[in-house]
Amino acid sequence: MGGLSLPAHSLIFSPSKPFLSSFNFTTRISVCKRCCSISGGGSTSGWNIAIEKRSGKEDEEANLRGPSSTVTRKPSQAADLAVTRRSEDFNAWYLDIIASAELADYGPVRGTMVIRPYGYAIWEAIQEYLNTKFKETGHSNMYFPQFIPYSFIEKEASHVEGFSPELAVVTIGVERSLRKNLCCLICLLRMWQVRPTSETIVNHMFTQWIQSYRDLPLLINQWANVTRWEMRTKPFIRTLEFLWQEGHTAHATAEEAEKEAMQMIDVYKKFAYECAAIPVIAGRKSKSETFAGASCTYTIEAMMGDRKALQAGTSHNLGQNFSRAFETQFTDENGQRQHVWQTSWAVSTRFVGGIIMIHGDDTGLLLPPRLAPIQVVIVPIWKKEEEKIGVLHAAVSVENILKSAGIKVKVDSSEQRTPGWKFHFWEMKGVPLRIEIGPRDVANGSLVVCRRDLPGKQGKDFGVSMDPSLLIAHVESKLDDVQATLLQTATLFRDSNIVDVSSYEELKEVVSQGKWARGPWAASEAEEQKVKEETGATLRCFPFDQPNGLKTCLMTGNPAEEVAIFARSY
């Protein structure tokens, strides 16, 4: 046999047709020569299957997908701190910041990334806030396996259809003593999926854990990695593997599930505003954009620095779709068997990418203080050796004062770099405040505080007292100012780039300018698809904040009760 061609991972099992009928020639699977005489490497003791995805766009996309990239990568020691101007090439600027600020690097497998300590520290800050909120709302953390039987995902038809283009699958070895004319078929039937999301395995376990109304509500969350076979990748925004949290809950009534779904999207919205300084728009997804297997999806949408939309978090009311597929039932107070009502909700490391693209500037990363791994960096400055001890002593003293107030602070006392280089380096890494201490400052008992978001003397406060109470109050006030300014700046940018439209022609014009179009909408899914095909924009959401009164649909001219937002997106 010259070779076995199987479907692109997504189409091995199609919910609407026998899986063998969906075969195409976009994926090659090589198996054991002895067992099936199929081309490729193998093992003498079983199946050794290598899956290789092929795409006509591979060359075009290689610059975003890994070590074979054509993108110029910055040295790991940040010897060259210059970044491409944001206005010249937004994508190159974004990649430059990730490299120079030491947030992440490309993994050895194309489409993957290595999150470096500084980048992971931002994710840890996100985890810290959300974990607190999850526990305040009654959720417990746990962990589910990464590998899920393929048969699970087939149980919910719309779920497999929605996720099929992104599934990665692993085959289970079989005994080589099987007759070779059965081997390939058995291999296909015995597959795991690598977790793209966990609704299916969660339901499998919920079915075992939930028996009575006394077991409800069941509220859990997990921090995990997931794998999706993405064709166009971008660090933090879209990678083959990424980190996220996913919450899963089961309830006795539809009303409780809806309340939960709304509660969690509100948690995400508050996090975006209060911690990330990102002015998201919360709303409901259209039917065509609803999560596969959900009854309704709620979203928070953020405007990036290039005015594209980023879906920053979602909360899904799953209704009884999964509980009916998995027979997840409970006995109610009247002794009747009922299917549970469920939700799921998630935020991922793409939030880190959103923070970069919203707040970053031509100098580099700019972090909101409440998520910054380092909120204050202290740079001691001296010229003469006899000045060194006094300056360093003052720097350490200030460090201890700020640490006592819970402020995340670092002293950069390295002698291999000049103070000017250090200023630029920590600005690149987005540290919100810098403190400068020199011999004259030590003599005066004062120091200089510099804001990252305000360049030059405009952002400098001279003669700030080293008195502990005064210093802490001043630094805390400045951190609050930076946080508020970032949110205000991002809000002004967002609002100035959302345009109200009343016709399809106006929508097309606004989208062609790279802006968001907001207008009355009551059209069909087919007409929504037409907008996508003709403009490249998708219906991002129906915002929760709606104008009063009936409007006229911009597409059909029919009465419309809601306005929708259309934008190009990541």
Among 303, 331, 359, the domain-final residue is 359
Q: Angle between the 350-359 and 117-136 helix axes, to the nearest 10 degrees?
A: 110
Say how many CA atoms lie within 13 Å of 67 toward its Cβ. 4
Looking only at the bridges linking them, the beta strands covering 376-380 and 433-437 are: parallel
The residue to which tokens 């993405």 are assigned? 230
Whether 259 is in a domain gets the answer: yes
Say whether both 349 and 414 belong to one domain: no
> Does residue 227 share a domain with residue 113?
yes
Band (pLDDT 50/70/90 cuts) for residue 277 is: very high
How is residue 25 annotated by DSSP?
S
Whether residue 479 sits in one domain with residue 416: yes
Residue 443 lies in a domain: yes
Residues 247, 261 contacting (CB under 8 angstroms): no
Q: Using one digit for the tens of pLDDT, what is the confidence trace for 447-504?
A: 999 999 998 899 999 999 999 999 999 999 999 999 999 999 999 999 999 999 999 9
Q: Is the predicted pLDDT of residue 74 greater than 60, yes or no?
A: no
Comparison of pLDDT for 402 and 191, the residue scoring more = 402
Confirm if 81 and 61 have CB atoms less than 8 A apart: no
120 plus 225 within the same structural domain? yes
Q: Residues 405, 327: one domain?
A: no
* C-alpha dihedral (12, 16, 17, 18), degrees to nearest 10: 60
Q: Where are the alpha helices (DSSP H) in 194-247?
A: 199-209
Alpha-carbon distance of 226 to 241, in angstroms, equals 6
Q: How far, in Å, are 100, 102, 225 from residue 77 at the CA level? A: 8, 8, 28
H/E segment holding residue 425? helix 419-428
Residues 6+ apart with CB under 8 A from 136: none
Q: How far is CA 342 from the centre of its chain?
A: 23
Q: In a 3-state reduction of DSSP, which class is residue 185?
A: helix
Domain containing residue 454: CATH number? 3.40.50.800
Q: What is the pLDDT of residues 134-147, one digit of tens each?
A: 999 999 999 999 98
567 has which bridge partners?
Answer: 538
Query: Between 181 and 500, where is the model more confident?
Result: 500
Q: Which of 506, 485, 510 is nearest to 433 (CA)?
A: 485
Q: Are residues 129 and 253 in the same domain?
A: yes
Task: Please give the Cα distance from 413 to 378 (Å, whole number).
Answer: 8
Is the pLDDT confidence value at 298 over 50?
A: yes
* Strand positions, DSSP E, 133-240: 140-141, 147-149, 168-171, 191-194, 218-227
Contact 212, 308 (CB under 8 A): no
Q: What is the domain count for the chain? A: 3
When the pLDDT of each residue in the chain is averaged and rounded to a whole number, the result is 85
CATH code of the domain containing 334: 3.30.930.10
Question: pLDDT tens digits for 512-543?
Answer: 999 999 999 999 999 999 999 999 999 999 99
534 and 462 within one domain:
no
- Residue 27 pLDDT class (50, 70, 90 cuts): very low
State residue 324's pLDDT score: 95
Q: Are residues 317 and 456 in the same domain?
A: no
* Residue range of the domain that includes 294: 92-141+215-359
Average of per-residue pLDDT across 26-42? 33
Instruction: Among 49-53, 199-203, 283-287, name the one with the lowest average pLDDT.
Output: 49-53
Displacement of CA 435 from its chain's centroid (Å): 32
pLDDT in the model for residue 22 = 36
In which band, very low, low, confident or very high, does the pLDDT at 507 lie, cut at 50, 70 and 90? very high
Determine if residue 302 is left, alpha or beta; phi over 0 gives left, psi from -120 to 50 gives alpha, anything else beta: beta
* Cα dihedral 412→418→424→426 (10° resolution): -10
Among 449, 483, 517, where does a domain finish? 483
Kindly write down the DSSP assignment for every residue of 305-320, as one continuous string: TTS-EEEEEEEEEEET
- Percentage with pLDDT > 70 across the chain: 79
Q: What is the pLDDT of residue 10?
A: 33
Residue 105 lies in a domain: yes
> Is residue 65 a part of any domain in this protein?
no
Give me the CATH number covering residue 520: 3.30.110.30
- The pLDDT of residue 232 is 85
In a domain, 340, yes or no: yes
* Same structural domain, 221 and 321: yes
- Residues 6+ away with beta carbon under 8 Å from 431: 367, 372, 374, 375, 376, 377, 452
Q: Do the beta carbons of residue 371 and residue 122 sit within 8 Å?
A: yes
Of the ranges 192-196, 246-250, 314-318, 357-361, which one carries the lowest mean pLDDT score? 192-196
**Helix H or strand E segment including 463:** strand 460-465
Confidence of residue 178 (pLDDT cuts 50, 70, 90): very low
How far apart are the C-alpha atoms of 180 and 36, rounded to whole Å? 5
Q: What is the dihedral of CA 15, 18, 19, 21, to 10 degrees?
A: -120
- Average pLDDT of the residues in 267-274: 99
* Residue 185 in domain: no
423 shares its domain with 335: no
Residue 120 in domain? yes
Query: Is 35 a residue whose pLDDT tops 50?
Result: no
Nearest residue to 494 (alpha-carbon basis) of 312, 239, 245, 261: 312
301 and 249 in a single domain? The answer is yes
In a domain, 387, yes or no: yes
- Taking residues 358-379, report their average pLDDT: 99
User: Are both 133 and 279 inside the same structural domain?
Assistant: yes
Run of H or E residues at 345: strand 341-348
Last residue of a domain, one of 359, 384, 418: 359
